[in-house]
A and B are shown apart, each in its own frame.
Chain A
Amino acid sequence: MRVVIAEDGLIVREGIAGMLRHFGHEVVAAVGDAPALLAAVAAHRPDVVVTDVRMPPGYGDEGLQAAIALRAADPDLPVLVLSQYVEQTYAAELLDSGRSAGVGYLLKDRIGDVAEFVDALERVAAGRTVVDPEVVRQLLGRRRDPLGRLTPREREVLGLMAEGRSNTAIARTLVVSEAAVAKHIGSLLAKLDLPPDGDDHRRVRAVLAYLRG
């Protein structure tokens, strides 16, 4: 994969770059602010972008705005946004941007789980949606009534779906068969009045849209 990294902290930026190289990916640009990110993406046409939310010059949410702008310009560009604070608001704005290409929103801490982080980035690059478990936890905490009808197992499955996991990954995480996962998913989608959908990405969107109310 050809990756563009935007992150203002030098140690973290170089760390991510080193880590991705370690896994055999090509870091075509590693920049420290939002304008440089936009320029680097225009110049290198990367397979995936990793960006921090908060960057110079304003130290606000320039990274997020840049990600949204990039996806508005090229709806198929996969973008993974990292944030020190995972907030539903930011996640919602990001998930609403672009068309169907991969999009990810993760807490910055997740970088520490190197293998998982690289896996998440690869999933985003492959066009999937990745949502931080923390966001999903917040979303699940918000709507209780219809969710109360779900069994504990179904809630677990719903959470993992909302994070953007595939059936295979969910089965592996919960140590159950894929058939069992498919059964739980069918059951919980029916309880929540969501249409069954084979497409993972559309399914994640539907679940997130539901959770966001």
Chain B
Amino acid sequence: MPVRNALEALTMRPMRFLLSSWPWRSLAYLAGGALIGFATILATVALLAAGVVLSVLVIGVAGYLATVLSGVAVGRLERRRMRLVDRDALPDPHRHPGAPGLRAWLTCRLREQATWRELGYTMISALVLCWMDAAVVYAAVVVPGSLLFAPIYLYGETTLSVTVPMALLTPFALAVGAYPVTAWAGARAAMARALLAPRSDDSDAKLVELSRSRARLVDAFEVERRRIERDLHDGAQQRLVALSMQLGLARLELSDGSPAAVQVAAAQQLAKETLAELRELIRGVHPKVLTDRGLAAAVGDAAGHAPVPVDLDLRLVGRLPDPVEMTAYFVVVEALANVAKHSGASRAAVSAGMRAGRLVLDVRDDGRGGADPGRGTGLTGLADRVAAIDGTVALSSPPGGPTLLHVELPCGS
């Protein structure tokens, strides 16, 4: 297994570890940490002092603000520096401000938890960690250094018979020191990672962005469906109606029962069947009544088309957002299709209502139950559609029935 960070490096075989770059990188990391810590102390003291001095003026706030935001800079530097001792890059926990300009950036940063965690990290590293870094680096450098240079600076005080063996011990001191240095660097990086890594609540913004892009995709499909529906309506459907009408007019000219009349009647029948099929197809692509009259009307009509009698209890007032109506409609259509296909039910019931800003849909039937989302694609497709707008699906279908499909769709904008 490849070694990913300083702590894992400690488990390497000693010779490989000592000859690897990990101890040196750890040392560099800690030295950097110490320097940044001291710089932070100086900067913070200066900024706070400036804040106190300037607080008579309003611009004193700027000093405090800068102190708070120094954490952002330190955090950013830390995440880069950490690559020295950790191969896994740490993603930026901050959101994109959403608007250009300093004001938007400030508002965004000050509202983020990540900013305050970074400030906390900066304070801890300035007050505690950098001193420890310094101590470790100091020990790691001074002990081998003093051994190595003992023959020089102890020249005259002690005999070479003592100092030369001391100098020869330097590699051992380095080898022994490499372990605590690397261990401390690894531990410190782990601490930094814990504080500076994005958390799930930071990534909310990214999740929102992600589901927005998914919602955009759903919208794009929706637009495309409408376009297809209109094209079919204005094109094929009109022509088929016209064709059927022309054939009807032709029949008027032919004497009843003549071979030509029979042929024309057959042709007209074909045109009618094609129209009926096309109509069903278009209904599946995009139901007109949904756009025109909303969910309650569309569900009512869908229930009218269902082969199983359906009891409706729709408590819906006004219109819901388009994606919600569309999804809810397809849930009902798909569920009723499943009822007709698989359940053997003699009747079904659809209820819909708003609860705490969510559209709650229940489709139940008195059939044999045992619906299995794993078997057909119907229920999975339904769940996918619902998930695309962050809704939830629950299914209860014990063998022997009854089956209840419970769907909740958030209606927030």
Contacts and interface: CB of A to CB of B under 8 A. Distances in A.
Interface of A: 9, 11-12, 15-16, 18-19, 22, 54, 59-61, 84-85, 87-90, 108-109, 111-115, 117, 138-139, 141-144
B177 to A, nearest CB: 80
B238 interface: yes
B257 to A, nearest CB: 16
A84 B300 contact: no
Interface of B: 230, 233-234, 237-239, 241-242, 244-249, 251-252, 268, 271-272, 275-276, 279, 282-283, 288-289, 291-293, 297, 300-301, 303-307, 309-310, 347
Contacts of A59: 230
Given A85-B283, A90-B289, A113-B248, A138 B237 contact: no
A12 B305 CA distance: 27
Main secondary structure of the interface of B (DSSP, over half): helix
Contacts of B306: 141
Contact of B233 (A19, A61, A84, A111): A84
B297 A109 contact: no
Given A88-B304, A138-B305, A114 B245 contact: yes
Given A12-B245, A16-B245, A109 B272 contact: yes
Q: Which of A60, A85, A112, A117 has the most CB of B within 10 A?
A: A112
Contacts of B244: 109, 111-112
B289 A87 contact: yes
Q: Which of A15, A87, A114 has the most CB of B within 10 A?
A: A87
A112 B309 contact: no
Contact of A114 (B252, B279, B289, B309): B252
B252 A22 contact: yes
Contacts of A142: 303-304, 309-310
B239 A114 contact: no
B249 A111 contact: no
Contacts of A61: 288, 292
Q: Which of B237, B248, B271 has the most CB of A within 10 A?
A: B248
11 contacts: A12-B242, A15-B242, A19-B248, A84-B237, A87-B289, A88-B304, A108-B237, A111-B245, A114-B245, A114-B251, A114-B252
Top 7 nearest A-B pairs by Cβ distance? A112-B244, A138-B304, A114-B248, A11-B242, A9-B238, A89-B297, A144-B309
Contacts of B301: 87-89, 138
A89 B297 CA distance: 6
A117 to B, nearest CB: 8
A18 B242 CA distance: 12
Nearest to A139: B304
A81 to B, nearest CB: 14
Contact of B292 (A16, A60, A112, A115): A60
A59 B249 CA distance: 28
B245 A19 contact: yes
A90 B291 CA distance: 13
A142 B245 CA distance: 31
A114 B272 contact: no
